[in-house]
Chain A
Amino acid sequence: MSSLTSRGTVDRLLPSFSPVRVVAEDGVPLAAPEAYELPADALLVDAFRRMVVGRRFDAQATVLTRQGRLAVYPSSRGQEACQIASALALRGEDWLFPTYRDSVALLARGLDPVEILTLLRGEWHCGYDPAAWRTAPQCTPLATQTVHAVGLADALRRRGRGGVVLALVGDGGTSEGDFHEALNFAGVLRAPVVFLVQNNGYAISVPLARQSAAPALAFKGVGYGVASEQVDGNDLVATLAVVTAAVERARAGEGPFLVEAHTYRVEPHTNADDATRYREETEVARWRAADPLARLERYLRGRGLLADGGVAAAEEEAERVAGEVRERLGGEMEADPLEMFRHVFAEPTPQLVEQRALLAAELAADAEGGER
């Protein structure tokens, strides 16, 4: 055994030194990158439509927090290119592991908008059936989902039925131990898994510079033997091309992949956050100008793939979805307190049965007006 590391082995794992980009900020196409096949035109038009709907949905969700209909909402605004690309790069048999910030990815994946918002309303369950949608419950404990994604990818491989897993994680999440363990497991197991880091510049108030000293987060792959790439995450065309290539590579049995998408969280961390305490408005303005939706629209129009009619149709659909969300989440949330005991175990323990009876008696007494 030689302890020599060949340069070629390392080079094959390294990301590009600058993020892959296909469309300039003003929507003008750049020279197509050699390493990537560009998505089909029809898919890009579809992506635009989903992005318009996603943005409207996102704005609606933020409004719902002000009305007290949602407990909290972490906005996807500014990150739509990453999220739409995540959904569109996957096939039906593939799995997605989202975080709390990825509502728009779930919407683009076809999940019901109200089910997507279930956890954020403050429910204790995720609303949708993970197996039916091949979508894990949105995950809040940071980076913990990345290890699950590797496990599931290994399960798919063992069953031999194909399928790739895409795990989403934030820039802050890459500092957690679990993220590193996930990369290491993925490398060792050669699991069909892709990690997409949405580097939106901040973990709540902490900027990337205080989060990591890596040349770019994508360089975290090489140490674990995981191939990697970095991409302009506000360029839908580039992001979709890179994530799709990573997913197809994993599908072909060529192992795990790490993508870092450079993007920006335009809104505060959540509706409860005050971003003025830690960042300048000029910085936000600069990123607003680099809006992924406007960029894609200009690009598609420039190529003659989209006209006013297409935009209007997308906006109409977006209004319809927003209206539906408003309507379905308009009422008070109803919940039966006794459901608390229902899904703790398959069979409740004797103690839970006892506690349930106690609460039922209390509720009955309250209903009779016997409240103390």
Chain B
Amino acid sequence: MAAALNGALRDAMRDDGDVLVFGEDVGPLGGVFRITDGLTAEFGAERCFDTPLAEAGIVGLAVGLAMGGFRPVVEMQFDAFAYPAFEQIVSHVAKARNRTRGRMNLPLVIRIPFGGGIGGVEHHSDSSEAYYAHTPGLKVVTPATAEDAYWLLRDAVADPDPVVFMEPKRLYWARGELDRGARSAAPLGRAVVRRPGRDATVVAYGPAVPVALEAAREAAAEGVELEVVDLRSVVPLDDATVTASVRRTGRCVVVQEAQGFAGVGAEVAARVQERCFHSLAAPVLRVAGFDVPYPPPVVERAHLPGVGRVLDAVFRLQFDDEPDRTHEVSERAREVSRVAS
């Protein structure tokens, strides 16, 4: 996937001389994940350059450059190191169009490597997509395949609105086919069915997609056919693809790596419930990270929603017509542990 992202930046810069790439260590080093490798060599330091270490400044500078007619693509080094830029993103990037009655748009891209599973020390594994998705005016996308990484990034750079482009770190090294000639149908704003199945729909995005697919393979071995929908685009959210799938299968599990509370999965689950209530044979379930600060590498596997947890949820979808009582059980567990502690 890293090579696909690098290729997308390169091609975007070749096609449009107004595309600028900047951020911390993106120049000669090529970025700490090497996503901008070779861009300074090919396009010169005027177009791909290292900035001082100041995320608010980087995004603020991008706003000004976009106002001046350029298409900035900025890199935040890690999820948690984008927070100093939060004010610029929320108060300016997201609102520029609205505060000018559409007269000023900001066609800029903020690339953010995000998520865990890479054995990172603290502040290097946050899932921060919900903060951005919660902010009106920002498009938020995240690829799960090399193919989507390429086309989503091309779409993001070409988009008239600001796009927060979330790159799942643990998929950087994932291999995948990429045909730059054959464009997959514009992925920005479109979910895709990654695997068809008739028994239940599993909705996932970014780093959770390979987990969902693996769960689908294991479920198939037990005779349950899961349909896996990859959102790709969190904002805009493709309700149509998701609801069409759930209406077919009648059951739905939403998987995300991020902590669950007030997350993207909650939004998807609510919308499915609103739109597919009469097609549902069981409550929509969420599988998410725990609501804890991202834990250390030695225990991150216990935190990350894995195949086991997805399958547990799938088998709670009342295939036997019995109501699911897991939540009552966990409420009892809560009582017990309250008494015990």
Contacts and interface: CB of A to CB of B under 8 A. Distances in A.
Interface of A: 71-72, 119-124, 140-142, 172-173, 175-178, 203-206, 210-212, 277-278, 333-337, 339-341, 344, 349-363, 371-372
B53 A211 contact: yes
A140 B122 contact: yes
Given A119-B122, A335-B299, A177 B54 contact: yes
B244 interface: no
A124 B122 contact: yes
B177 to A, nearest CB: 29
A176 B84 contact: yes
A354 B81 CA distance: 31
Given A71-B119, A120-B121, A371-B308, A176 B293 contact: no
B121 A72 contact: yes
A178 B29 contact: no
A339 B330 CA distance: 18
Contacts of B336: 357
B103 to A, nearest CB: 29
Given A205-B29, A344-B292, 15 more contacts: A119-B122, A141-B83, A176-B53, A203-B24, A206-B25, A278-B29, A341-B290, A344-B293, A350-B334, A354-B334, A355-B290, A357-B330, A357-B333, A358-B333, A372-B308
B290 A340 contact: yes
Given A123-B296, A141-B81, A205-B25, A176 B54 contact: yes
B337 interface: yes
A124 B53 contact: no
Interface in B200-248: 218
Interface in B259-289: 261
Given A340-B303, A344-B292, A71 B28 contact: no
17 contacts: A141-B123, A173-B53, A176-B53, A177-B54, A203-B25, A204-B24, A204-B25, A205-B27, A206-B24, A277-B29, A277-B30, A278-B29, A337-B302, A340-B299, A344-B293, A354-B333, A357-B334
B287 to A, nearest CB: 11
Nearest to A204: B25
B28 A278 contact: yes
A307 B297 CA distance: 46
A212 B28 contact: no
A72 B302 CA distance: 21
Contacts of B25: 203-206
A204 B291 contact: no
B61 interface: no
B302 A363 contact: yes
A204 B29 contact: yes
Contacts of B291: 344, 349, 351-352, 355
Contacts, number: 135
A178 B84 contact: yes
A210 B52 contact: yes
A119 B290 CA distance: 21
A140 B290 contact: no
B136 to A, nearest CB: 25
Contacts of B338: 353
A203 to B, nearest CB: 5
Given A119-B122, A205-B50, A354-B330, A124 B28 contact: no
Given A142-B53, A205-B25, A210-B50, A341 B121 contact: no
Contacts of A175: 52-54, 57
A357 B330 CA distance: 7
B311 A177 contact: no
Given A205-B29, A340-B290, A371-B308, A172 B53 contact: yes
B223 to A, nearest CB: 15
Contact of A205 (B28, B57, B308): B28
A354 B331 contact: yes
Contacts of B337: 353, 356-357
A356 B295 CA distance: 14
B79 to A, nearest CB: 11
A122 B53 contact: no
A158 to B, nearest CB: 28
Contact of B292 (A123, A140, A352, A372): A352
A173 B55 CA distance: 11
B90 interface: no
A122 B296 CA distance: 5
Nearest to A333: B298
B84 A124 contact: no
Contacts of A356: 337
A353 B340 CA distance: 12
A198 to B, nearest CB: 14
